[in-house]
Amino acid sequence: MTQNQGLVLENVVLGYGGGHVAVDKVSLEVRPGELVCLLGPSGCGKTSTLRIAAGLERVSAGTVHLNGRLVSGLGTHLPPEERHVGFLFQDYALFPHLNVLGNVAFGLDRLSGPEKRRQALERLSQVGMESYADAWPHQLSGGQQQRVALARALAPNPSLMLLDEPFSGLDKRLRDQVRDETLHVLKSSHVSTLMVTHDPEEAMFMADRIAVMRGGRIVQMDTPERLYSSPADPFVASFFGEVNSLFSQVIDGNVQTCLGPFPAPGFLNGAKVEMLIRPEGVHLREDPMGHAQVLASRLLGRTSLIHLKVERPDCLPVHLHARLASRALPPEGLRVALEIDRSQVFVFPISGE
């Protein structure tokens, strides 16, 4: 990994008393102007990793470099105030005794009064809140508070922005709007950004690259497109959306299933495997002689979810979900033939195999 630009964590470990390890040999890089998301379930170590980058936690092992400077590890630990890092957390923590302009200008002590006001107003304009400069935090909506907090974090021109679930307190409609605005502001500022979220859709919307975490470790780190199309294991595959799971074994290079054989290159003959199929990879075609039957159809807004039962004489019945990119709702009981998009099929060894 390069250590001349951006944020670099190498083999970082964070341990607590009793042998608990919150972060276990994590290595990642956030390049200049790049937005990287730490994604995973609660307790996987993503917030602890963010706190290490912020300087709020001392590493037990490993190193942290920021713009080529060692800030953690090897006996060094720079506190947050010496790292030139911006923060945006779930609790926007605006100062109630300061108006909007005062909040944004709070961290600009090195500037003169007029210059401090000019820079604060410039950041407020960037987030569309300049007309609220004289308002008080309690007079703002949740979305407006989030924008002011973003302006305050960006006001000192930090070299790194750290975001911890910054949109979780907003309702869905407002969340979509605010995260879109935040993405554009961060990209236009060309600031390196490390963001924590447990929402895979949000990570795919925001990130240039995503680090999927589990048990304190990074399971896979790549672009959203690569993570979706080439997951490293069932955990990653299922984290980016619902999957149909079939258990079988490999015979003569193919996984044998009631949907037919599927190629399994690299697996030994007789290997037990788990095959995952994304619902959007299951396509239906009405066929009175088809082996699948529609159990239920549900409209989910932009897509429809179809529950299917697959029955063939040579295998046990299988329940599948198909997701159609339309408002089509095939009637219950309809017999259909299935066509599977092979690009939406993933074969993994069962643990221990």
What pLDDT does 268 receive?
93
For residue 322, the cross-strand partners are 306
- What is the DSSP secondary structure assignment for residue 4, as one 8-state letter? S
Task: Mark the ranges of the chain whose per-residue pLDDT is less than 50.
Answer: 1-4
What pLDDT does 353 receive?
53
Tokens found for residue 87: 């923060």
C-alpha–C-alpha distance, residues 206 and 146, integer Å: 16
Angle (nearest 5°) at CA 218 between 197 and 30: 70
C-alpha–C-alpha distance, residues 231 and 237, integer Å: 5
Which phi and psi angles does 118 have, rounded to 5°?
Answer: -60, -45
C-alpha–C-alpha distance, residues 217 and 23, integer Å: 6
**pTM more than 0.75:** yes
Tokens found for residue 254: 């193919």
- What is the DSSP secondary structure assignment for residue 167, as one 8-state letter? T
Output the CATH code of domain 7-234: 3.40.50.300
What pLDDT does 175 receive?
87
C-alpha–C-alpha distance, residues 156 and 288, integer Å: 67
Query: Buried (b) or exposed (e) across 265-277, using 16+ Cβ within 10 A?
Result: eebeeebebbbbb
C-alpha–C-alpha distance, residues 195 and 280, integer Å: 28
